[in-house]
């Protein structure tokens, strides 16, 4: 039986600061690169000897091309800090690709909207790459990208999305770049102006942003898919730690819910399947 997931050491090609606390790791990982779908992630071992930290870190695949994968990450704690010290030529143990990933509709689905909040750009750039592949077959495809960031200094990937030919709109909380306010406000402005068939929304970012987008999607009758983040111990579906509440199709009438694993049934969920509110 063919393996869907690999566990192996992969060689670091580059690991450079993008800006401030943001870094980009490039690995020679042909096996993962060829199988990966946008929205999937890898579990990276940051410390192999002292068990500090003990657990792997889940990180979404930022790009997968030509036998390489890229990981965009922010230094938030000990694990990511250790990761910044890895130099080209060193190896990192990865498990991946993991999770379901975004389901890309046919080229028939010609319009897409991507909404990224903060680090949410990470999986969405990979998605844009794949959508553009469809675009080459169909010139009428249009990809709109909305990026929300705290400040202009926290803004990521604007150039990368533009160079793929996406229409990029920016919102910052403090107005240092683009629209001042929430990216979801900017999104709503655009949605209210679309007269033709409503595009599909793909999104990744903070929980509160995903919830607002779920609201907008239902208001405008759009399908929306979001990639979720959760504390994970294993990342492979064994520990049952990373669950979120979702609708139970079988028992809808009873207003019941089921827990689904972000690592296995996710990280991408259709937003109208998610039950929001208390954690």
Partner 1 sequence: MKPNLSISIGKLKLKNPVLVASGTFGYGEEFEDFINLKELGAIVTKTITLKPRQGNFPPRTCETPAGMLNSIGLENPGLDVFIKEKVPYLARIGVPLIVSIASEYDPGEFLSVSRRLDKIRAVCAIELNISCPNLKNKKLIAQDPAATYRLVSKVRRVTGKALITKLSPNVTCITDIASAAEKAGSDALSLINTLGGMSIDTRARKPKLASICGGLSGPSIRPVALKMVWEVYQKTELPIIGMGGIIDTPSALEFFIAGASAVAVGTANFVNPGIVPEIIRGLKEYCRGHKINSIKELTGSLRCQD
Q: By rule CB under 8 A, what string of x and - marks binding of each residue 240-269 to partner 1?
A: xxxxx------------xxx----x-----
Q: By rule CB under 8 A, what string of x and - marks binding of each residue 10-49 to partner 1?
A: -----------------------------------x----
- Which secondary-structure segment (H or E) carries 33? helix 30-35
Q: Find the shortest distance in angstroms from Cβ 242 to partner 1.
A: 7
Closest CA to 227 of 61, 19, 7, 29: 61
Nearer to partner 1, 208 or 218 (CB): 208
Closest CA to 257 of 242, 241, 276, 230: 276
Window 177-236: residues binding partner 1 (CB under 8 A): 230-236
Between strands 243-247 and 224-227, the pairing is unpaired
Q: Which residues contact 193 (CB under 8 A, 6 or more apart)?
A: none
Q: What are phi and psi of 113, to 5 degrees?
A: -120, 130
- Which secondary-structure segment (H or E) carries 201? strand 200-204
Strands (E), 46-162: 57-60, 63-65, 68-74, 91-98, 111-117, 142-149
Q: Find the shortest distance in angstroms from Cβ 54 to partner 1.
A: 6
Q: Find the shortest distance in angstroms from Cβ 202 to partner 1.
A: 24
Nearer to partner 1, 223 or 233 (CB): 233
- When asked if residue 7 is in the footprint of partner 1 (CB under 8 A), the reply is yes
Nearer to partner 1, 63 or 246 (CB): 246
Q: Find the shortest distance in angstroms from Cβ 160 to partner 1.
A: 31
Q: Report the SS3 class of residue 157.
A: coil
Greatest C-alpha distance within the chain? 58
Closest CA to 158 of 150, 166, 113: 166
Binding partner 1 (rule: CB under 8 A), the pick from 5, 75, 100, 272 is: 5
Burial class (CB in 10 A: 0-12, 13-18, 19+), 47: middle
Nearer to partner 1, 55 or 115 (CB): 55
Nearer to partner 1, 5 or 21 (CB): 5
- Which secondary-structure segment (H or E) carries 31? helix 30-35
Window 83-142: residues binding partner 1 (CB under 8 A): 93, 95
- When asked if residue 277 is in the footprint of partner 1 (CB under 8 A), the reply is no
Nearer to partner 1, 222 or 236 (CB): 236
Spacing of C-alpha 59 from chain mean position = 9
Q: Find the shortest distance in angstroms from Cβ 261 to partner 1.
A: 10
Binding partner 1 (rule: CB under 8 A), the pick from 15, 44, 56, 169 is: 56
Nearer to partner 1, 3 or 137 (CB): 3
Q: Find the shortest distance in angstroms from Cβ 97 to partner 1.
A: 11
Contact positions toward partner 1, by CB under 8 A? 1, 3-7, 45, 51-56, 93, 95, 230-244, 257-259, 264, 278-279
């Amino acid at each position: 039986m063919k393996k869907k997931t690999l566990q192996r050491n992969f060689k670091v090609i580059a690991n450079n600061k993008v800006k401030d606390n943001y870094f980009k790791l490039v690995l020679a990982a042909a096996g993962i690169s060829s199988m990966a779908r946008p929205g999937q992630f890898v579990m990276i071992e940051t410390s192999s000897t002292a068990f500090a930290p003990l657990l792997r870190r889940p990180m979404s695949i930022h790009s997968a091309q030509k036998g390489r994968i890229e990981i965009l990450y922010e230094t938030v704690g000990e694990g990511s800090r250790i990761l910044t010290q890895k130099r080209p030529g060193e190896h990192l143990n990865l498990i991946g690709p993991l999770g379901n990933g975004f389901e890309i509709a046919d080229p028939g689905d010609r319009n897409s909207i991507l909404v990224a909040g903060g680090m949410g750009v990470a999986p969405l750039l990979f998605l844009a790459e794949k959508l553009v592949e469809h675009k080459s077959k169909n010139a009428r495809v249009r990809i709109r990208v909305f990026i929300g960031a705290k400040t202009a200094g926290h803004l990521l990937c604007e150039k990368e999305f533009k160079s793929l030919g996406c229409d990029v709109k920016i919102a910052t909380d403090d107005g240092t770049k683009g629209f001042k306010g929430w990216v979801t406000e900017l999104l709503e402005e655009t949605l209210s102006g679309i007269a033709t068939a409503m595009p599909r929304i793909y999104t990744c970012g903070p929980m509160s942003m995903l919830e607002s987008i779920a609201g907008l999607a239902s208001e405008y009758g759009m399908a929306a898919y979001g990639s979720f983040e959760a504390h994970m111990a294993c990342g492979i579906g064994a520990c049952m730690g990373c669950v979120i509440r979702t609708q139970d199709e079988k028992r809808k009438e009873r207003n019941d819910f089921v827990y689904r694993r972000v690592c296995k049934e996710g990280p991408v969920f259709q937003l109208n399947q998610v039950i929001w509110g208390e954690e």
